[in-house]
A = this chain, B = another copy of it.
Amino acid sequence: MTQFITDAEVAARLDPATAVRAIRDALLAAYRGRLVAPPRVAAPLAGGRLVLTAGQLTGEWYGFRSYDTFGHAEGEQVVALHEAGTGRVRAIAVGEEIGSRRTGALGGVAVDVLARPDAATLGVIGAGGQAWAQVWAIAAVRRLREVTVFCRTPAGREKFAARVRAELGIPARPVSTAPAAVRDRDIVVLATTSPTPVISAADLSPGSHLNTVGHKQVGRAEFGPDLLDRADLLVTDSLTQAGAYDPPMLATVGAYAGRLRGLGAVLAGALPGRTTADQVTVFCAVGLAGSEAFLLDRLTRSGADG
């Protein structure tokens, strides 16, 4: 019998340590070829596209996430998980929590692998569900001393900071400009819908790590080339998907292409990560295919704690 999972159930049942562990395993499985993660495919509709991102853990399950590009504020996604042996649907999740927690956990793994071990301050630009999921997961891999947040509306950033204090027990304060949110921070998260840069490389401190979750294509990105030029290390969760954007992802054009590394390869120790405390590291999240199903598998396999 199929388990139907709502956003409320994901929020209640999925803890960040479990999510980060699951996504770490997904990245390693993809690196080792056990997680089959083909590029997304899309069906064109009037005014938008329906997108399917599929994955398969060989011999265990296959599944997908579907989402659309209509831009509805409260639009919902579908994540489905089939048993490999029978084809039956073990679980279906409807909403956006699996998707955003998955992206949060990707950011958590990136911070765990790439940020300094003593990183303790976090600056966030954006105050939506994606920004929240980043803080939620990062707090599971680093002991955070303070979170600063900026978004365009004072009410939005006040509310976000209050939620960080209340739900994560971390001191948090809203600030009134984007640079103020990220200056002197060990870890920076960009999780906006902005098509133009929200900070410049000069706003970053030596030794900081940055996760970017929003737009990252040529001509439509929440950061500019200056940020990539400043980075000592450029990492993404899927080189295959990073290479499939149209227009191309900024970090895959020109000289950047040769520098972009897979997070799975760094996790596996096949490629080096940060080598000095003053390096700037940048993680460009593209959303490894199959990682949503990976998370749903963990959530529905072994009971309440995933």
Contact = CB atoms under 8 A, between A and B. Distances in A.
A66 B94 contact: no
A58 interface: yes
A78 B289 CA distance: 18
A14 to B, nearest CB: 19
B74 A88 contact: yes
A45 to B, nearest CB: 4
A33 to B, nearest CB: 10
**Copies of this chain held together in the complex:** 2
A289 B78 CA distance: 18
A151 interface: no
A76 B68 contact: no
Given A36-B46, A43-B41, A66-B80, A75 B52 contact: no
A86 B72 contact: yes
A17 to B, nearest CB: 29
User: What 5 A-B pairs come out closest when comparing CB atoms?
Assistant: A75-B87, A72-B87, A43-B54, A41-B41, A45-B56
Interface of A: 2, 4, 6, 36, 38-46, 48, 50, 52-56, 58, 62, 64, 66, 68, 70, 72, 74-76, 78, 80, 82, 86-89, 92, 94, 289
10 contacts: A2-B6, A36-B45, A38-B45, A43-B53, A43-B54, A50-B62, A50-B64, A66-B66, A68-B82, A78-B89
